[in-house]
Structures are given as structure tokens and as C-alpha cells.
């Protein structure tokens, strides 16, 4: 194999790996084990956005905190009752983010005015 052909092949593989890594990072990542206490306190739902099951420390080992990422938008904390619900969320994130937004709006509307 010629040197120029090998260099071209290596450059192509490197650019593909960089693209895949950037795309994977862009969409989602699990939250750090210690998700921000403020973000958790501000989370508008007491139930899993997918299943509707209660988010508590007793059921299924406690809630799973997940950070959803999109280009050009702030990271979003999403809380689930189990790993299966994370998979369902990933299929239709807009549907579930809308539920969270609606719950946040309702919570803000019912909060006492300062």
C-alpha cells in the first residue's frame, strides 16, 4: 500500500471516529452520581416521566438521574424509576421532555408569588 493511500485511509478513519464520538456526546449522558441537589430539588415531578411510578429511594433502588443533552440547548435533568424507562425515553425524548415542561409550568403557576 502506498504511503499517500495509507495516510488518506488513516485520516478517514480518524475523522469518522471523531464524528461518532461528537455525536454520541451530543445527545445524552448519564448524570454524575451526585446530581446537583438544586436540580433535583427543582425537578417538577415526583413520579417517573415514562412509567408514572413514584420516585423514591425504596422502589427499585432509587431514582436514576440522567442528563439529556442537545446541541444549542441547556442540559436537562430527567429522573426515572429504572433503566428500562431510560430506554423508552431515548426513543421519544421530545414527548417526555414536554411532560416535564408542562409539570414545571404548573408548579411555577401554583407557587406563591414573591
Q: Determine the pLDDT at residue 62.
A: 85
| 78's grid cell | 430527567
CB-based contacts of 81, cutoff 8 Å, min separation 6? 47, 48, 50, 51, 53, 54, 55, 59, 60, 63, 64
pTM summary value: 0.66
Rounded Cα distance, 54 and 45, in Å: 9
Q: What is the pLDDT of residues 37-62, one digit of tens each?
A: 888 889 999 999 999 999 987 766 78
> Is the pLDDT at 88 greater than 70, yes or no?
yes
- Do residues 96 and 89 lie in contact, with contact meaning Cβ atoms separated by under 8 Å? yes
Query: Which pLDDT does position 56 carry in this prediction?
Result: 81
Examine the pLDDT at 98 and tell me if it is beyond 60. Answer: yes
Domain boundaries, the chain: 27-110
Amino acid at each position: 500500500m502506498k504511503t499517500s493511500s495509507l495516510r488518506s485511509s488513516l485520516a478517514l478513519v480518524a475523522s469518522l471516529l471523531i464524528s461518532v464520538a461528537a455525536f454520541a456526546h451530543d445527545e445524552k449522558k448519564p448524570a454524575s452520581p451526585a446530581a446537583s441537589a438544586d436540580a433535583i430539588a427543582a425537578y417538577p415531578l415526583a413520579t417517573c416521566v415514562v412509567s408514572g411510578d413514584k420516585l423514591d429511594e425504596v422502589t427499585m433502588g432509587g431514582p436514576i438521574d440522567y442528563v439529556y443533552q442537545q446541541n444549542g440547548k441547556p442540559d436537562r435533568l430527567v429522573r426515572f424509576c429504572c433503566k428500562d424507562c431510560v430506554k423508552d425515553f431515548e426513543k421519544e425524548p421530545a414527548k417526555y421532555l414536554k411532560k416535564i415542561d408542562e409539570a414545571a409550568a404548573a408548579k411555577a403557576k401554583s407557587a406563591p408569588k414573591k
